[in-house]
Amino acid sequence: MSDFGNTTKNDSKEQKYSYHAFGSNLKALRKKKGLNARDLARFIGKTPSYVGQLESGERKPSIETLMEICKFFDKSPDFMLTKPEINSALSRQGYSKPLNEEAEKQKEHREMVLNMLDTFEPEELDHLDKMLRSFKDFTYTSREKYKKLYSK
């Protein structure tokens, strides 16, 4: 699991500040949802003391934990790592977009494709499957050749 590591005295003020901003945002969002640290800890598979350390800026989350928290609160990582006062100003100006907006578009596209596939005959689906597999093999082979060519 990727980890940003713990905050140390050697971290730059800017880097520390972004994780303190993360902690402030996390605490504010948790309280806004009416949750205690134990509830949030259960969701992300950590301990309440870990949540407390995140909120105080003593610890930095792994990328996986950051994304779980972002999904839970429907916020982007840049929102979570930005000073609360900047987030408020951006939100008032209409710049804050939920993380799930892109996921919704993807879901709509997936449903559209699945609906189209429902209209195909079994033989057509087999042919489409063969074409897609060939394309996948071609792109993989091309990528490997490119890596070999330019990694020298």
127 or 103, which is more confident: 127
pLDDT digits (tens, 9 = 90+) for 14-63: 443 477 888 999 999 999 999 999 999 998 899 999 999 999 989 999 88
pLDDT digits (tens, 9 = 90+) for 82-100: 877 676 666 666 665 555 5
Give the list of residues 6+ apart from residue 76 with CB closer than 8 angstroms, or none.
70, 97, 98, 99
Task: Report residue 106: phi and psi, to 5°.
Answer: -65, -40
Looking at residue 98, what is its pLDDT? 54
Distance CA 64, CA 142 (A): 31
